[in-house]
Structure 1
Amino acid sequence: MALLPVGLVLSRQYGAKYSAQLETAGFTPVTDQNGRLRDVPPGGQLPGHGNPFIGGA
Structure 2
Amino acid sequence: MAGNEKSKAKKEQAKGKAKEAVGRAVGNERMTAEGRAEQSKGDARQAKEKGKDVFRH
TM over 0.5: no
Q: Which one has a bigger Cα radius of gyration?
A: 1
TM-score range, shorter chain: 0.3 to 0.5
Q: TM-score, normalised by structure 1?
A: 0.44
Q: Which fold has the larger relative contact order, with Cα–Cα distance below 8 Å and residues 6 or more apart in sequence? A: 2
**Larger helix proportion, structure 1 or 2?**
2
Query: What's the TM-score, normalizing by structure 2?
Result: 0.44
Determine which structure has the larger strand proportion and give its number.
1
